[in-house]
């Protein structure tokens, strides 16, 4: 009876182990990864993906109380150049090891980290054994477009995040899996975005293409139905993207050469909150009267352009940055079409310093229109 009781107890523990292993696997590898990072800090884009932390200790079914618990055989399958922590069996850590090649990736892996090495190529078949990858970090290497295998990423049907920033890419990787949710390609040498480069990426929510040499992006963003954030700053764009998705909330276009914005351009994106277009070549002649008069926008940065007048904006705007332009006139109708007790701007911060204005240029009804403003710099 004594041995039967022990076996029943151990069996129950074994069942519990199978229930909890998958649930807490992700939080374990994520905590280990964040602790190991010193030069690349990343917080998950989706907070609800992280299950609440808890710790459990179980003995596998079939072992006696007090016996040493052997490691599962799967944890021993790990390339010698890397680390596969036994408690994070789905994560492969090969970062910051002066690697010049991609080592073998075991089939069980969901998260693979190769950042901050000297890798120059992604050979054909590099991930054929690990098609269940969800996160793939290759940033901070020396990868060139000519040495990326054809359809290397398209085979990863579960891939959600791909980090290729800080490399030597001159072309967008293509094709990419439909499962992708975040694409990081900043700090490369990409100059052109083909019309089909982002085709089929219906789940993409964040696109990072800053610090490249992109001259035109065409209508590539328009069909990304889930896109929330698009960062195209520090490029060589002369035009705004040819259409925006309705899901967009954040658009970063600063440090380009954009000189025009079409009428009602932003109204196709009713969720748009933040627009940054500082350090461009915007003039009043290149702006339609309602280019920025969109009720959803809460923060608008048009600083360091060539504007001579304040563009008309919605009364819903809260933060407006216009410093470093050539503005010489304070027009209250830019903020309020008419002013009375019930009609006023919700603007809280207005930056007009570095222009050709003086405080005595403000009209007498400005305090009534801008009654919510905490900061007005002239």
Query: Residue 246 pLDDT > 70, yes or no?
Result: yes
Whole-number pLDDT of residue 338: 83
Whole-number pLDDT of residue 61: 35
Query: Residue 45 pLDDT > 90, yes or no?
Result: no
Position with higher pLDDT, 87 vs 31: 87
Q: Which of 1-5, 107-111, 237-241, 359-363 has the lowest mean pLDDT?
A: 1-5
Q: Give per-residue pLDDT as tens, 121-160.
A: 999 999 999 999 999 999 999 999 999 998 999 999 999 9
What's the CA gap between 309 and 322, in Å, rounded?
10
Nearest to 92 by CA among 210, 193, 107: 107
Q: Which pairs with CB-CB distance under 8 Å and at least 24 residues apart come from 46-51?
A: 50/26, 51/23, 51/24, 51/26, 51/27
> Do the beta carbons of residue 161 and residue 182 sit within 8 Å?
yes
Whole-number pLDDT of residue 46: 34
> Do the beta carbons of residue 65 and residue 85 sit within 8 Å?
no
- C-beta neighbour count of 79 within 10 angstroms: 15
Query: Residue 110 pLDDT > 90, yes or no?
Result: yes
Whole-number pLDDT of residue 3: 41
What's the CA gap between 119 and 142, in Å, rounded?
6
If you average pLDDT over residues 101-118, what whole number do you get?
Answer: 96
Largest Cα span, the chain: 96
Q: Hunting for tokens 């351009």 — which residue is that?
A: 265
């Amino acid at each position: 009876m004594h041995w039967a009781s022990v076996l029943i107890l151990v069996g129950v523990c074994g069942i519990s182990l199978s229930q909890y292993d998958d649930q807490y696997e992700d939080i374990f590898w994520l905590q280990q990864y964040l602790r190991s990072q010193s030069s690349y800090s990343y917080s998950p884009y989706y907070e609800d993906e992280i299950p609440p932390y808890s710790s459990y200790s179980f003995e596998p079914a079939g072992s006696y109380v007090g016996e040493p618990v052997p490691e599962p055989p799967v944890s021993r399958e790990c390339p010698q150049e890397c680390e596969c922590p036994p408690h994070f069996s789905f994560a492969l850590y090969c970062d910051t090891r002066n690697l010049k090649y991609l080592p073998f990736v075991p089939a069980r892996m969901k998260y693979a980290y190769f950042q901050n090495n000297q890798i120059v190529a992604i050979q054909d078949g590099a991930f054929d054994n690990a098609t269940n990858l969800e996160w793939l970090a290759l940033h901070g290497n020396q990868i060139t477009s000519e040495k990326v295998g054809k359809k290397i990423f398209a085979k990863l049907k579960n891939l959600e995040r791909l980090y290729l920033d800080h490399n030597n890419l001159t072309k967008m990787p293509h094709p990419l899996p439909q499962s992708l949710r975040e694409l990081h390609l900043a700090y490369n040498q990409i100059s052109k975005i083909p019309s089909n480069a982002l085709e089929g990426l219906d789940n993409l929510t964040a696109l990072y293409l800053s610090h490249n040499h992109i001259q035109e992006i065409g209508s590539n963003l328009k069909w990304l139905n889930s896109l929330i954030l698009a960062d195209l700053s520090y490029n060589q764009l002369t035009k705004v993207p040819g259409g925006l998705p309705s899901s967009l909330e954040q658009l970063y276009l600063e440090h380009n050469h954009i000189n025009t914005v079409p009428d009602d351009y932003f109204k196709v994106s009713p969720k748009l909150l933040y627009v940054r277009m500082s350090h461009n070549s915007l003039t009043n002649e290149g702006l339609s009267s309602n280019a920025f008069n969109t009720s959803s926008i809460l923060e608008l940065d048009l600083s360091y352009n060539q504007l001579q007048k304040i563009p008309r904006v919605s009364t819903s705007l809260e933060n407006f940055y216009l410093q470093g332009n050539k503005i010489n006139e304070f027009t209250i109708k830019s903020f309020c079409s008419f002013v009375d007790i019930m009609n006023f701007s919700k603007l809280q911060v207005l930056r007009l310093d570095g222009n050709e204005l003086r405080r005595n240029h403000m009209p007498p009804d400005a305090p009534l229109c801008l009654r919510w403003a905490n900061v007005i710099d002239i």
